[in-house]
Homo-oligomer: A and B are copies of this chain.
């Protein structure tokens, strides 16, 4: 079978996307690590909890929202728990399940670190784009996600952020 190579336009877009994927996580990570002693993934976990009722979610729910495997999440949550930012307790309904809940310190941490994080996101991404490009970016990433995540397991999350 012969390969359908990328043309110039496609290659240009692809190489830039790869470059962004290579650089952006590092930028987010170092800002949060420096200012809040959190990785970007740590922050995301705490942020997901902070937006949930009771500041509580089941491990599986957090994993879905963050796109992580349960194994990865388990390690991360263990560290966050050791730092007193959240706590785990068994779920009453399903004794297999574990709930994670933000502690007061964790909630404080989210409130303290959110502004700096948003500012970083603005500086490096949002404010670099014209309003119509933000819309285009949403459509493009949506299309890509329909391939990466066909069954829309994670759709639950980002759909929540759409107009109501």
Contacts and interface: CB of A to CB of B under 8 A. Distances in A.
Given A20-B144, A143-B129, A134 B13 contact: yes
Contacts of A22: 66-68
Given A4-B122, A44-B18, A119-B3, A12 B162 contact: yes
A16 interface: yes
A157 to B, nearest CB: 7
Interface string A114-141: 1100110111111111010111111111
A70 interface: no
A128 B11 CA distance: 15
A143 B148 CA distance: 24
A91 interface: no
A147 B118 contact: no
A21 interface: yes
Given A9-B134, A24-B148, 13 more contacts: A5-B118, A8-B162, A8-B163, A9-B163, A12-B161, A15-B158, A16-B145, A19-B149, A21-B25, A23-B149, A129-B144, A133-B143, A136-B136
